[in-house]
Amino acid sequence: MKTLLELRQVSKHYGQETAALSDVSFNVKEGEFVSIIGPSGAGKSTLLRCINRIVDASGGEIFFNDENVLKLDKAQLKRVRRTIGMIFQHYNLVNRLSVIENVLHGRLGYKSTLAGMLGLYSEEEKQQAVKMLNILGLQEHTYRRADQLSGGQKQRVGIARALVQKPKMLLCDEPIASLDPNAAKTIMDYLKTISATMGITVLVNLHQVDVALRYSDRIIGVNKGKVVYDGSPKEMSSSMIHKIYGSEAGELIFDHGGQNAG
Amino acid sequence: MRGDIFARKKMNAFVFLGVLILVTLVAIVMTEYNVAKGFTSIPKAVHWGFSNFYPNGESFRKLPDIMMKLKETVLVSIAATSAGAVFALVFAIFGAHTTRFNAVLGGISRGIATVFRNIDVAAWALILLFSFGQNVMTGYFALFFGSFGYLTRAFIETIDEVSGGSVEALRATGAGYFHIVFQSVIPSSIPQMISWILFMIETNIRQATLVGILTGTGIGFAFNLYYKSMNYHTASLVVVAIVIAILFIEYISNYVRRAIL
């Protein structure tokens, strides 16, 4: 399998002293499902945002599909961004617009300034948006306003918006952190299916260790801006989890309830 | 440690109260204000109001004239507010954190709005009297400048508050600046912006009355005219007309607000 994403010694500083990321290096192959776990404030969100340059990295190199992301000019960056879908903890939809309009926002990267401003989408794009809504089981909500949906439904709209971009990769920033367990499972199942059937690479930040162990092909553990683990979920040991979270044995809920997941 | 915090808070409250009383006393002494006389004159004022300041049959003969002036004032207020809102929208997009091009341009845009906002409408009217004289245009521009400054500030806060998340999401899809403004920022913030504009129209009708006294136009001028010629009955009719107009506008804007939210 070809390497789709490569990070080399990526670092990010805020101001002079606080380092959010230091010397982060890893590869992601095409079609892989990779989870990033680590404590709050470890730099997981910053890491994802550096990849599509919502946040500009301070140093290092990021190669996506053989292009050095950090060297791109504005127009090239837009072209790369539209091949990377992004999914957010708080869904980040335009609440007052309808579901279908929110999904079509995924096409904006392909539109001219005027057509995008006025929201003029082609018949083909609309068909594609409807198709994505069908795949995600939202067909009866197509014309409802986004703020009338439940959290799980909103997140599925977020996924549909990312998918109409025809992305090579999805970056998911805590996609299930605000959802109840049922909705969380639905979302994770959709992500897994999408990755498997469409061959889309998925990179997902997670708080739930058991979810990461169950769904991922590979797990990257981050602590204090550094990669401390990069391997398969099978090799993940209980002591390694404690190392990632900087905790002592017996301190995590995981120790009592989640053992069988590993 | 805990006791310290509470003791300090109590101390702060006492100091604040002490300073407040001191300032009040100094002000009373400096202005030679007689507290007792001030309060005892209230009943007298009320009595005068009830015996002189009410519309009578004769004052209603002036009603058509009053209504025409009132219409002029209301229309000028609405025109000034809507024109101010258009400019405010542009400046707010430049000034808001989520949509500004860069920090310098954002700062300039906020700065201009601050200057316009911090000069009161009445002050604007006095300044503009030099350029336009006693004319409707003076009132119009005074209200326009005031609304522009105020609405820019309100719109900036609306934009920053409402559209943070979806702006980030659209940037991530590769959407351009204008795509983001028109597809995310404006749709998200339009209800709140309309609400602000309606509020501004109400405020401006009130302000326009005062500005009219200064510029010699509209309903404010009518009031001033009747009042100074000691035609108190007609002057009171003007006040009643203004109050009814404001209540009516408030009713309409509440209705619109409910409809758009």
pLDDT in tens, A151-205: 999 999 999 999 999 999 999 999 999 999 999 999 999 999 999 999 999 999 9
The pLDDT value given to residue A261:
43
* Co-location of A145 and A69 in the same domain: no
Query: Which of A95, A117, A162 has the CB atom closest to B188's CB atom?
Result: A95
How many Å apart are CA A103 and CA A143, to the nearest integer? 11
* Co-location of B134 and B45 in the same domain: no
Query: Which of B166, B173, B190 has the CB atom closest to A93's CB atom?
Result: B166
How many Å apart are CA A161 and CA A79, to the nearest integer? 16
Asked, for residue A77, whether it belongs to a domain, the answer is yes
* Co-location of A141 and A16 in the same domain: no
B183 and A94 in contact by Cβ < 8 A? yes
How many Å apart are CA A97 and CA A231, to the nearest integer? 42
Asked, for residue A115, whether it belongs to a domain, the answer is yes
B207: CATH:
1.10.3720.10
* Co-location of B67 and B111 in the same domain: yes
- Count of Cβ atoms closer than 10 Å to residue A120 Cβ: 11
The percentage of chain A sitting over the pLDDT mark of 70, rounded to a whole number, equals 97
* Co-location of B42 and B159 in the same domain: no
Question: Above 80 in pLDDT, residue A236?
Answer: yes
Q: Share the mean pLDDT of chain A.
A: 91
Query: Could you tell me if B33 and B189 are in contact, meaning their C-beta atoms sit under 8 angstroms apart?
Result: no
A105 and B190 in contact by Cβ < 8 A? no
What pLDDT digit, counting tens, does each position of B14-45 carry?
999 999 999 999 999 999 888 888 888 999 99
* Co-location of B34 and B65 in the same domain: no
| Residue in chain B lying closest to A105 (CA) | B170
Chain B interface includes A216 (CB < 8 A): no
Note down the domain range covering A110: 93-166
Note down the domain range covering B13: 2-52
A81 and B179 in contact by Cβ < 8 A? no
Residues on chain A touching B187 (C-beta within 8 angstroms): 94, 96-97
Query: Which of B168, B183, B187 has the CB atom closest to A108's CB atom?
Result: B183
The pLDDT value given to residue B2:
60
Residues on chain B touching A167 (C-beta within 8 angstroms): none
What pLDDT digit, counting tens, does each position of A33-42 carry?
999 999 988 8
| Domain stop point among A166, A181, A211 | A166
Chain B interface includes A249 (CB < 8 A): no
Those residues with Cβ within 8 angstroms of residue A144's Cβ, 6 or more apart along the chain or in another chain: A98, A99
Question: What's A21's DSSP letter?
Answer: E
Query: Which of A84, A95, A105 has the CB atom closest to B170's CB atom?
Result: A105
* Co-location of B119 and B232 in the same domain: yes
* Co-location of B126 and B237 in the same domain: yes
* Co-location of A17 and A79 in the same domain: yes
Nearest 5°: CA angle at B191, between B190 and B195?
115
Chain B interface includes A96 (CB < 8 A): yes
- Summarize chain B as % helix, strand, coil (round to 5): 90, 0, 10
* Co-location of A101 and A160 in the same domain: yes
* Co-location of A173 and A256 in the same domain: yes
> What are the backbone angles phi and psi of residue B217, rounded to the nearest 5°?
-135, 165
pLDDT band at A32 (very low <50, low <70, confident <90, very high): very high
* Co-location of A7 and A57 in the same domain: yes
Total domain count, chain B: 2
Question: Above 90 in pLDDT, residue A260?
Answer: no
A78 and B182 in contact by Cβ < 8 A? no
pLDDT band at A255 (very low <50, low <70, confident <90, very high): low
Question: Above 50 in pLDDT, residue A262?
Answer: no
pLDDT < 70 regions, chain B: 1-3
**What own/partner pairs with CB < 8 Å and gap ≥ 24 does A251-254 have?**
A252/A209, A254/A209, A254/A210
Total domain count, chain A: 2
Q: Measured between CA atoms, how close is B105 to chain A, in angstroms?
A: 20
* Co-location of A49 and A139 in the same domain: no
* Co-location of A247 and A261 in the same domain: yes
Q: Measured between CA atoms, how close is B81 to chain A, in angstroms?
A: 25
| Residue in chain A lying closest to B189 (CA) | A96
* Co-location of A242 and A129 in the same domain: no
pLDDT band at A253 (very low <50, low <70, confident <90, very high): confident
